[in-house]
Amino acid sequence: MIKLMHNSTNQPWPTFTSPIATVQPSMPTLFQWLTHQNRIKHDGYTVFKNILPASIFDPLNDAFDALKSAEILPVGIITHPLFWQIVQALDPIIENILNEPYVILPETWAWDIDPNKSNKGWAPHREKLFSCVNSDGMPMSLSCWFPITPATPENSCMYVLPASDDPYYPVGKTTFDLPIQAIRALPADPGDVIVFNHNILHWGSQSSQWGLVPRRAIAFESQIQSIPNYNHPVMMPNVPPSHEDCITLYHQLIQQYHHINY
């Protein structure tokens, strides 16, 4: 359900209500958990397949359309309560991987990449340029990236260089005198969640005219509470911010990432 309001610049701003009370994820089995933990320990990432319910994606796509009509960047999706319900739904997964209490960082983005060769995801980068992993290889902070439409090599899926194949991991350079054949494409469908640490080298590929739909996706970040906060203000995973705080956060995010050609 969508209605319009005006923000402080007098531009129409969509506000949203969630169509459901809670988002119920499908949790991994014990064996799947062991695989995910080993993979994120050794390769820096893992992919939880089909854990978010299909019912959330039509409302999210409607919201992306409303944001585009209002000429608001896709990261305006943070004003949708459904986004924060997804953050809450992923709490058991994040807590299991980080293995201690954590906070949500003000480091969120969303993409709406049209299928043509002039559009692409972000260039190869590491989220942080200092080590964010423990001595056992497990992360102190995470990103969760989930598609709203199918993300494929044709319309710009995510790519990673696994930590175990990266000679400069965790904090080295990101130029490509690297093992190119070790690069992994991570096509993903609505319902999948890609989780990765903040030192793995990753990027979004160039789109193409062969993509069937725009690539729409959202990502957010978290970190353990027992270390200094990487950024401010942090949020508790089960306490969604107010609508006004979300709009303030939107403007903060635009400033943080203004140097990126989105």
The predicted-structure confidence for 177-209, as pLDDT tens digits, reads as follows 777 888 999 999 999 999 999 999 999 999 999
Q: What is the pLDDT of residue 261?
A: 59
Shortest CA distance to 73 belongs to which of 127, 126, 113? 113
216 alpha carbon, distance to own chain's centre: 11
Q: Model pTM?
A: 0.92
How far is C-alpha 221 from the geometric centre of its chain's CA atoms?
A: 7
Give the residue among 153, 157, 166 at the shortest CA–CA distance from 200: 166
Sheet holding 201-204, edge to edge: 184-186, 158-161, 201-204
Residue 6 has what pLDDT? 36
Residue 217: closest CA among 105, 120, 104:
120
> Coil, strand or helix: which one is 173?
coil
What domains appear along the chain, each with residue ranges and CATH number?
Answer: 26-226+247-256 (2.60.120.620)
Q: What is the pLDDT of residue 176?
A: 64
Between 260 and 62, the more confident residue is 62
Residue-wise pLDDT tens digits, 214-254: 999 999 999 999 999 999 999 999 999 999 999 999 999 99
pLDDT, tens digit, 9 for 90 and up, residues 146-174: 999 999 999 999 999 999 999 889 998 77
